[in-house]
Chain A
Amino acid sequence: EAAVTQSPRSKVAVTGGKVTLSCHQTNNHDYMYWYRQDTGHGLRLIHYSYVADSTEKGDIPDGYKASRPSQENFSLILELASLSQTAVYFCASSDVSGFGEQYFGPGTRLTVL
């Protein structure tokens, strides 16, 4: 069965600090995604990637960077964390040969103080 794992599962960061969220998939999928989830906004796409060493901006990329060093791994980087980036972050993957259904990880709860 498809598997997407995220680390850490929760994190407390200080304003202005650097935060790295990691995602690993064993699905052999080409596409990987980072979303944030906030009450009243649902899931919003931050960055995505369709091949290693390349990333694309999603709908809300400001304040975030992404890195895809291999097919299996996709990181989200907050260089200068801010209070407004407190949210739950989800990673997902999808297969180019399917209908585009995405498989999600369990999420990372980030609190910026």
Chain B
Amino acid sequence: GDSVTQTEGPVTLSEGTSLTVNCSYETKQYPTLFWYVQYPGEGPQLLFKVPKANEKGSNRGFEATYNKEATSFHLQKASVQESDSAVYYCALRSGGSNYKLTFGKGTLLTVTP
């Protein structure tokens, strides 16, 4: 079956430093890749998606490039803010009609002032 592996947390950074959360995936079908973010006390929400290989997705200063050869989709941000403190989930939807998403285990990011 499909699987997603991402950076184990928690990750603590100082404001203004850079972030990388690694994500790798396994699937036998063509994937659509997503990053979700979950703020404290809320449900996960879509950060951005990338449906095509070697394309980049971005939102709120975060970005990730879908690398088909490396089966990776790492999340990056050049300069994190305290408001970025949240749990980040990598997810994939593989080809097919059931629209299931497979999520990674999540990475808790805490940004200190």
Could you list which residues of chain A lie within 8 angstroms of chain B, going by C-beta atoms?
A: 4, 31, 40-45, 48, 50, 56, 58, 90, 92, 94, 96, 99-107
Which residues of chain B from 33 to 49 have a CB within 8 Å of any chain A CB?
A: 34, 41-46, 49
Could you list which residues of chain B lie within 8 angstroms of chain A, going by C-beta atoms?
A: 32, 34, 41-46, 49, 51, 89, 93, 98-101, 103-106
Most buried by B among A31, A90, A100, A107: A100
Measured in the bound complex, the distance between the Cα atoms of B44 and A58 in whole Å is 19
- Contact pick for A106, options B32, B42, B89, B103, CB 8 Å: B42
Q: What does DSSP make chain A's interface, helix, strand, loop or mixed?
A: strand
How many contacts A-B (CB < 8 Å)? 51
Contacts of A58 in B (CB 8 A): 100
Given contacts A42-B105, A100-B93, contact A48 B43 (CB under 8 A): no
Q: Lowest 7 A-B CB distances belong to which pairs?
A: A104-B43, A42-B105, A100-B93, A43-B103, A42-B106, A100-B99, A101-B46
